[in-house]
């Protein structure tokens, strides 16, 4: 028996479930299909983000930061901790509870919005005059008919050839978030966002962490000044980061894994690690969708091919999130999901890629929006720069975290903000002001003239905006 819907969403991650909610708000009958299972085999919507991505990584980053502070930072505040010890089991259990709260929250939201949820794998069966037939394979088989389909099937960790993930010795993000013992020696391949976040978690908990990066530059997409400061701080904390390496054979043993590589000077090296995380990017998830069966086009990199409006080559089939081009970020997926639901309703949903913020939740945090100084130079744009260090910010001193700075880049003639780059405490929260400013096409002077609460970290943002015009007050 088939069920008819205006909109069927395949995938219940941040792209899919948010698209489903917005479509339901707009009055459509909506189904959302997601195959993620919790330990008991039940539904666990929320995708990579909720289950093995954003949420559990931030839970462990927070817990491990507390642990590090208790061991190293509390004494300065006059708080003496004796007999500090790590209960990793409890830390992981808390992380799992946070994940479950989010899974349950999404199930509640789907129900509240009268969205029919199907737990299983969705695949295109055929296109007909009525719409698309979508087969759901799970505990029970279902056949749905959709006028519109939104594909939001996300991404998976990319493996290195010859080193498949076993999640015991060779770990993707899934295994990296679930280690039941702190590895003595942890290897990480790829000094990108996951490598740095996961490397930080396990270093704080006691691992000796070595990160092997293929490129000769550290965090190439980040503003150079910020990347330089990040490298300095992270290596000071004890992360060993080797750039410009060429990875060779990876050989798992019984209890450890050896990695052969050629270092940046051309010397052959072999290191044995207790565990190895491979975080070299992610690949779009299109397996099992039967894209080829209905003629849904993929691009040369395996992403579902879409135009600027997330339209695929098939009428009334849309795709959003990690499975399409653009940054692999939860908030980008959500914005696309909302925009697509609105376009289906005949509205003008819009995603501004120029104001999608990036955050790396290391310590110090790194956050930015807009163009970097090197991009502006490459684009031949005349710009002015202004920075302000947290060292000169009263709130940062009171917090006991004065690393980093805020940096503004503004158009030399119009003063329009072109990029804001932050490394330091709560950069993830501070960046929102810059996003709002850029969305409204504000000038640096606009931020400089706005009253910011004292004492607050946001005063560093105002001061950096003032510094664009060389008139910072406190530095
Ligand atoms: P996903 O979240 O991958 O969801 C896709 C869902 O579709 C999954 O549940 C999958 O099981 C399901 N699915 C796939 N195929 C089918 C099918 N045929 N039928 C039914 N269901 C199917 N981003 C941030 O913005 N901030 C962060 O802090 C952050 N941290 C991260 C940390 C880690 C360790 C990782 C790995 C990623 C992180 N990301 C972060 C990236 C973020 O998780 C992704 O960008 C986001 O989850 C993409 O959302 P999505 O909806 O496109 O796909
Ligand atoms: P990434 O693209 O951030 O980093 C991958 C790194 O691996 C790069 O530095 C790359 O040069 C390196 N690399 C690639 N191939 C290599 C090889 N063969 N040998 C050595 N180094 C190699 O990808 P990552 O860290 O896997 O994360 C995937 C995506 O997930 C991110 O791009 C991001 O979109 C998302 N994410 C976002 C987070 C956030 O917003 N805070 C947190 C974690 C992930």
Q: Which CATH number fits domain 3-156+283-351: 3.20.20.140, 3.10.310.30, 3.90.950.20, 3.50.50.60?
A: 3.50.50.60
pTM, entire model: 0.98
- The position carrying tokens 């300095």 is 232
Query: What confidence score (pLDDT) does residue 190 get?
Result: 98
Residue 185 near ligand 1, beta carbon < 6 Å: no
* Interval 385-400: pLDDT, tens: 999 999 999 999 999 9
Active-site positions read 454
Region 355-468: CATH code = 3.30.390.30
Instruction: Classify 418 as helix, strand or coil.
Output: strand
In CATH, the architecture of 170-280 is 3-Layer(bba) Sandwich (3.50)
Closest residue CA from atom 3 of ligand 1: 154
- Of all protein residues, the one whose alpha carbon is nearest to atom 23 of ligand 2 is 281
Provide residues with CB under 6 Å of ligand 2. 160, 189-195, 197, 212-215, 247, 279-282, 327-329, 359-361
pLDDT for the residue numbered 140: 83
In the predicted model, residues of the chain with pLDDT beneath 70 are 1-2
What tokens appear for 379 in the block?
A: 């684009």
> What confidence score (pLDDT) does residue 22 get?
98
Pick from 316, 81, 307, 62: nearest CA to 197: 62
Rounded CA-CA distance 162/172 in Å is 14
List the chain domain ranges.
Answer: 3-156+283-351, 170-280, 355-468
What atom in ligand 2 is closest to the CA of residue 328?
A: 34
Among 12, 15, 153, say which to mutate for ligand 1: greatest number of ligand atoms within 8 Å of CB. 153
Strand partners for 369: 420
pLDDT at 1: 58
CA 13 to ligand 1 centroid distance, Å: 5
Q: Beta-strand (E) ranges in 202-328? A: 208-212, 240-242, 246-252, 257-262, 268-273, 275-278, 282-284, 317-319
Distance CA 321, CA 54 (A): 14
Topology match between the domains 3-156+283-351 and 170-280: yes
pLDDT at 283: 98
Determine the pLDDT at residue 472.
98
Ligand 1 atom nearest 15 alpha carbon: 51
Quote the CA–CA distance of 240 and 391 in Å, as a whole number. 26
Given ligand 1 and candidates 154, 279, 341, which is best to mutate, with the most ligand atoms within 8 Å of its CB?
154
From ligand 1's centre to the CA of 102, what distance in Å? 14
pLDDT at 33: 98
């Amino acid at each position: 028996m088939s069920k008819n819907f205006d909109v069927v969403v395949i995938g219940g991650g941040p792209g899919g479930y948010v698209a489903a909610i917005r479509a339901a708000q707009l009055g459509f009958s909506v189904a959302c299909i997601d195959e993620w299972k919790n330990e008991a085999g039940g539904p666990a919507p929320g995708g990579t983000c909720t289950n093995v991505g954003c949420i559990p990584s931030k839970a462990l980053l927070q817990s491990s930061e507390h642990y590090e502070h208790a061991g190293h930072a509390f004494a300065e505040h006059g708080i003496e901790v004796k007999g500090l010890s790590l209960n990793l089991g409890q830390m992981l259990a808390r992380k799992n509870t946070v994940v479950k709260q989010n899974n349950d929250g999404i199930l509640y939201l789907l129900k509240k919005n009268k969205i029919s949820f199907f737990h299983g794998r969705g695949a295109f069966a055929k296109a007909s005059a009525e719409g698309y037939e979508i087969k759901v394979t799970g505990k029970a088989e279902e056949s749905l008919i959709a006028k519109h389909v939104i594909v939001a099937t996300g991404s998976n960790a990319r493996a290195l050839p010859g080193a498949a993930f076993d999640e015991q010795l060779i770990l993707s993000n899934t295994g990296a978030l679930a280690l039941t013992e702190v590895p003595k020696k942890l290897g990480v391949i790829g000094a990108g966002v996951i490598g740095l976040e996961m490397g930080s978690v396990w270093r704080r908990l006691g691992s000796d962490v070595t990160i092997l990066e293929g490129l000769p530059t550290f965090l190439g997409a980040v503003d150079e000044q910020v990347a330089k400061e990040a490298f300095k701080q992270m290596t000071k904390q004890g992360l060993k980061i080797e750039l410009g390496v060429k990875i060779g054979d990876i050989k798992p043993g019984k209890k450890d894994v050896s990695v052969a590589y050629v270092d940046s000077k051309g010397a052959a090296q072999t290191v044995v690690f207790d565990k190895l995380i491979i975080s070299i990017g992610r690949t779009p998830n299109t397996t099992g969708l039967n894209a080829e069966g209905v003629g849904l086009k993929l691009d040369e990199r395996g992403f579902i091919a879409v135009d600027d409006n997330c339209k695929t080559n098939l009428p009334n089939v849309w795709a959003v999130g990690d499975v399409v081009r653009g940054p692999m970020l939860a908030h980008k997926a959500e914005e696309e999901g909302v925009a697509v639901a609105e376009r289906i309703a005949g509205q003008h949903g819009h995603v501004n890629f120029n104001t999608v913020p990036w955050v790396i939740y290391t310590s110090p945090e790194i956050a930015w929006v807009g163009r970097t100084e090197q991009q502006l130079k490459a684009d031949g744009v005349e710009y002015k720069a202004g920075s302000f260090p947290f060292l000169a910010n009263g709130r940062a001193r009171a917090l006991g975290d004065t690393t980093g700075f805020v940096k503004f880049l503004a158009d030399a003639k119009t003063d329009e903000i072109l990029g804001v780059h932050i490394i330091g405490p709560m950069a993830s929260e501070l960046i929102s002001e810059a996003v709002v400013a850029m969305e409204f096409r504000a000038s640096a002077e606009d931020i400089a003239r706005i009253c910011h609460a004292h004492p607050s970290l946001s005063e560093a943002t105002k001061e950096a905006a003032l510094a664009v015009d060389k008139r910072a007050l406190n530095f």
